[in-house]
Structures are given as C-alpha cells and as structure tokens.
Amino acid sequence: MCRRFALDLDWDAVAARFAVDDDDVNADALPDPSYNIAPRQTIAVVAQGRDGRRHLTGANWSLIPRWSTTDDLPYPTYNARVESIASKPTFADSTRSMRCLIPASGYYEWHGVKPFYFHAGDGMPLYMAGLYSWWRASSATPWLLTATIITCQAVEGPASVHDRMPLLMSQPLYDAWLDPAVDGPTLLPQVHTAGESLSRALAFHEVAPLDGDGPELIRPVTREEPLRLF
C-alpha cells in the first residue's frame, strides 16, 4: 500500500518529459512541495484527453467514481490493487480509459511502526501508475478530479519492509498507458512485469516517525552505537 509520499519536483521538467504544452499545465491546481502527502490531499497527475493533448494538473488523492452519490465512500480508494482494478466497479471504468501517471519524489512504507522512505537511487522522480475519475455532487456543482495510486505485490528488497508497494511505470509504456484509446486491461500484464523490474532498483532507508512536513522527514535514521565497557 501507499498512504504517504513526498513530492518536491520541477513542474516544468515534468511537463517537458511528457510533452505537456504550457497551456495544458494547470499551475494553480498543482500541489506545493510536501514531504508528507496524505490521502484526500492534492496530488499531481499527468493524463491525456481523447484529443491527444496531455495535461499536468492537481487531483484529489482518493478516487471517487462518477456514478457515486457521495464523496464519502465507506472504503478507502487512495490505493487500488492491480490484481482487481479491471473488475471492481469502483475502478473498472477508469482502468479501461482514464489512466494517469502520478509523479513523486519518493514514498513511505511501514514495517510495524517504523517508516521507511523509498526513492530512485539516481534521485530522479518516480512515476506511479494511477487511475483518475471526474466526480461532482450535482449538476450545479463543479467537477472534481480524483485519482488513486495502483499498488502491487512488493518484490525482493521492498518486500522486507512491506508486502505491497506502488506500481511504478516504465518509460516504454508511458504512451500506451496514457492513451485513452488503448484498452487498459490488456496493458496490465506488461505494466505489472515492467514495474516489478523497476522496483528492484529502488533505494530505501528507515526514517523517523512522520511528524510535520519538510525535507527532514526523508533523512535516514542514525543510531548511535551503545556504550561498551569492554
């Protein structure tokens, strides 16, 4: 699972990476830098419309399906399991044609009560596979963009901390994943396999309990050697 992550990125660089035109970057909706983003807060998404134009904007981190009559769902939707997204009603429509990439500096997982920070060893951003949906309470209220992070079974090193992790996206699959004309369920086996390979290259370290916000949250825990008399 992924219920906290860090996001402190150069939006111009993210837009350039995905060929998002300046007019399609909604800077006012993008989140401020944060090292402790929680569900229901604003995250960033890269998504592609049916006209082929790509967009970089903010979204509520907890997907609400369009057919829902409320934004207060009885179950969490900030994560979606890759094994079931194509069949679960909450995520099925989005899996077919409303897929996105969710950028992050890194993310946290817990081993018991100890948090660990995961990030790319080369310091580059991570791009997590996501789904999005537009929702509004009534025809008189504005549309709200909502999104979820897809998770998968953790592999090797990351599995020593937690049994689940975000599904990371591989660059060769970016175009197909973002293209709403491509049927999502047919992509899932490739995306899953490629994501497992990327996950094996992640670096991670223990951090102090998350309190507040700021870059100090991702600093490794340093433990002093106990005093030895002999």
Contact 202, 119 (CB under 8 A): yes
pLDDT value of residue 74: 95
CA-to-CA dists, residue 12 to 9, 21, 31, 41, 191, angstroms: 9, 10, 14, 22, 26
DSSP 65: -
Class of domain 5-208: alpha beta
DSSP 165: E
Q: Which of 151, 164, 51 is nearest to 102 (CA)?
A: 151
Contact 152, 164 (CB under 8 A): yes
Apex CA 153: angle with CA 62 and CA 205, to 5°?
85
pLDDT value of residue 222: 82
Block mean pLDDT (10 aa), the chain, length 230:
92 98 97 98 97 97 97 96 97 98 98 96 96 96 97 93 96 97 96 92 96 97 65
Give the three-state DSSP class for 178. Answer: helix
Q: Which of 64, 75, 137 is nearest to 98 (CA)?
A: 64
Q: What are phi and psi of 147, to 5 degrees?
A: -150, 160
Q: Which of 220, 206, 216 is nearest to 35 (CA)?
A: 216
Q: Which of 128, 5, 2, 136 is nearest to 76 (CA)?
A: 2
- The pTM (predicted TM-score) of the whole model is 0.94
pLDDT value of residue 56: 98
Angstrom distance (rounded) from CA 26 to CA 30: 7
pLDDT value of residue 230: 54
